[in-house]
C-alpha cells in the first residue's frame, strides 16, 4: 500500500515508517528537518519531503504528490510547556488542528484512510481508573491536550475511514524521552527526585509502531488506546526500572508533581485501557520492561 506518514523525523513516526517499509509498503515521509533520520535514509520504497505543517499549501502539495491510500499522521507540536506561551498558541493550533483538518478533508476526498495519533492528555487524569478507548470524559488540562482533542474531533467529523490511536509515555530511538532524561539526571548524583503520583504505561515506539501499522492495515475503524502491556506504574517506579536495567546505583527520592513548577498542568492518571485492541482482533504489545531492555540495547 502507498502511505503518507507525517513526522518521520520524530520518535514515533520514524519507527512507523521503518515498520511499513519492512512490510513492503511504499512510504512518503514528511518532517520539518532537512533530512530524514539515518534509519530511513536511502531505504528502498522511501521518499521524504520537508516542510512546516503550518503551511497548509505545502501539506496539500505533499499529499497530491504522494497520492496515498493511507495516511498515518504522527507529526504534532509536542512541546507541552512551550505550547502554553501566548505567542505560540496560534502556531500550535495550526500544527495540531488545522493541518489535521486539511489531511482529513484530503483523505475524505480521495477515499484514503487516516490514522491520527493522539494522547492521554485529552483527559484530565483525575481518579485512578484506566480510561477506556471510547471514553468521552474529555477535559484536557493544557493547550497541547486541547489541540490534540480538537484534532481527534475534526478527524471523527470529517471522514468515516479513520482511526484515532492514543499512545502515552512513549520512548524511542529518535527523541528526547523520559529514559534519556533519567539517565542524564542520574549522572554524578547519589539521589534523583522523581514524581511518584503520575501513573501510566511506558511504551517503546518500536512496539507502538507495529500496533499502529496493524491497525492502519485493517478496516476496524474507530478509536483505540495503544500502550505496552505489563501494567501501570508511577514515574518513580519506571525510573527505578531504568536505573536497574542500566546498572546505575542512585537513590530515588519520591516527590509530587505539584513540587515541580511547570507552565503546563499535566494529568496524574495516564492509565489507558488498551483492551479494545483485542476485541477487534489486534495483538497486544509486549511488556514495557521487555521494550525498555530492547531500547537500551539498541540506543
Residue 125 binds to ligand NAP (criterion: CB under 6 A)? no
Residues in a beta bridge with 72: 5, 115
The residues near 105 (Cβ < 8 Å, ≥ 6 apart) are 158
The C-alpha cell that represents 34 in the structure block: 532537512
The verdict on 54 binding ligand NAP (CB under 6 A) reads: yes
Nearer to ligand NAP, 15 or 196 (CB): 15
Q: Which residue has the cell 490511536?
A: 165
User: Interface with ligand NAP includes 145 (CB under 6 A)?
Assistant: no
Q: Which of residues 13-42 bind ligand NAP (CB under 6 A)?
A: 13, 31-33
74 binds ligand NAP (CB under 6 A): yes
* Chosen residue from 48, 63, 77, 224 binding ligand NAP by CB under 6 A: 77
**Shortest reach from residue 155's CB to ligand NAP, in Å:** 12
Report long-range pairs for 79-86 (Cβ below 8 Å, ≥24 apart).
Answer: 79/144, 80/121, 80/142, 80/144, 80/264, 80/266, 81/262, 81/263, 81/264, 82/263, 83/142, 83/143, 83/144, 83/147, 83/264, 84/142, 84/143, 84/263, 84/264, 85/263
Examine residue 146 and tell whether it contacts ligand NAP (CB under 6 A). no
Q: C-alpha grid cell for residue 238?
A: 519506571
Binding of ligand NAP by 198 (CB under 6 A): no
Options 116, 121, 144, 232, the catalytic residue: 144
Q: Is 274 in the site for ligand NAP (CB under 6 A)?
A: no
Alpha carbon distance 179, 170 (integer Å): 10
Q: Provide the minimum distance between the beta carbon of 68 and ligand NAP in the complex, in angstroms, as a whole number.
A: 17
Pick from 246, 241, 248, 249: nearest CA to 289: 241
Taking CB under 6 A as the rule, does residue 52 contact ligand NAP?
yes
Whether 48 is catalytic: no
**Among the residue ranges 161-169, 217-225, 253-261, 291-299, the one whose residues contact ligand NAP (CB under 6 A):** 161-169
Q: Is residue 216 within the footprint of ligand NAP (CB under 6 A)?
A: no
Of 93 and 289, which CB lies nearer to ligand NAP in the complex structure?
A: 93
- Told to check if 78 binds ligand NAP by CB under 6 A, we report yes
User: How far is Cα 238 from Cα 182, in angstroms, rounded to an integer?
Assistant: 10
Q: Among residues 100, 119, 142, 228, which is the contact residue for ligand NAP, using CB under 6 A?
A: 119
Q: Which is nearer to ligand NAP, 85 or 251 (CB)?
A: 85
Residue 84 CB partners (closer than 8 Å, separation 6+)? 142, 143, 263, 264
Dihedral angle, C-alpha 85, 91, 96, 100, nearest 10 °:
170
Euclidean distance between CA atoms 113 and 172, whole angstroms: 25
Q: Counting contacts by CB under 6 A, is residue 10 touching ligand NAP?
A: yes
Residues that bind ligand NAP in the complex, under the rule CB under 6 A: 7, 9-13, 31-33, 52-54, 74-78, 95, 117, 119, 148, 167-170, 175
Task: Give the residue numbers annotated as catalytic, written as ranges.
Answer: 144
Amino acid at each position: 500500500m502507498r502511505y503518507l506518514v507525517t513526522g518521520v523525523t520524530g520518535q514515533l513516526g520514524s519507527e512507523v515508517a521503518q515498520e511499513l517499509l519492512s512490510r513492503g509498503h511504499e512510504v512518503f515521509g514528511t518532517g520539518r528537518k532537512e533530512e530524514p533520520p539515518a534509519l530511513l535514509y536511502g531505504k528502498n520504497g522511501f521518499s521524504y519531503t520537508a516542510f512546516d505543517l503550518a503551511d497548509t499549501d505545502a501539506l496539500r502539495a505533499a499529499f497530491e504528490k504522494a497520492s496515498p491510500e493511507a495516511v498515518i499522521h504522527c507529526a504534532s507540536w509536542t512541546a507541552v510547556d512551550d505550547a502554553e506561551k501566548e505567542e505560540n498558541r496560534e502556531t500550535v493550533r495550526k500544527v495540531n488542528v488545522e493541518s489535521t483538518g486539511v489531511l482529513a478533508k484530503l483523505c475524505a476526498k480521495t477515499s484514503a484512510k487516516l490514522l491520527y495519533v493522539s494522547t492521554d492528555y485529552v483527559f484530565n487524569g483525575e481518579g485512578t481508573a484506566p480510561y477506556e478507548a471510547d471514553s468521552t470524559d474529555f477535559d484536557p488540562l493544557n493547550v497541547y491536550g486541547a489541540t490534540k482533542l480538537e484534532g481527534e474531533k475534526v478527524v471523527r467529523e470529517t471522514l468515516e475511514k479513520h482511526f484515532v490511536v492514543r499512545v502515552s509515555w512513549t520512548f524511542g530511538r529518535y527523541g528526547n524521552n523520559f529514559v534519556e532524561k533519567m539517565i542524564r539526571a542520574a549522572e554524578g548524583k547519589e539521589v534523583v527526585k522523581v514524581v511518584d503520583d503520575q501513573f501510566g504505561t511506558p511504551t517503546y515506539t518500536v512496539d507502538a509502531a507495529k500496533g499502529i501499522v496493524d491497525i492502519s492495515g485493517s478496516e476496524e475503524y474507530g478509536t483505540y488506546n495503544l500502550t505496552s502491556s505489563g501494567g501501570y506504574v508511577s514515574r518513580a517506579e519506571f525510573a527505578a526500572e531504568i536505573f536497574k536495567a542500566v546498572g546505575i546505583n542512585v537513590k530515588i527520592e519520591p516527590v509530587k508533581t505539584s513540587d515541580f513548577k511547570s507552565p503546563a498542568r499535566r494529568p496524574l492518571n495516564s492509565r489507558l485501557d488498551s483492551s479494545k485492541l483485542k476485541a477487534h482482533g489486534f495483538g497486544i504489545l509486549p511488556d514495557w520492561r521487555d521494550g525498555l531492555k530492547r531500547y537500551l540495547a539498541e540506543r
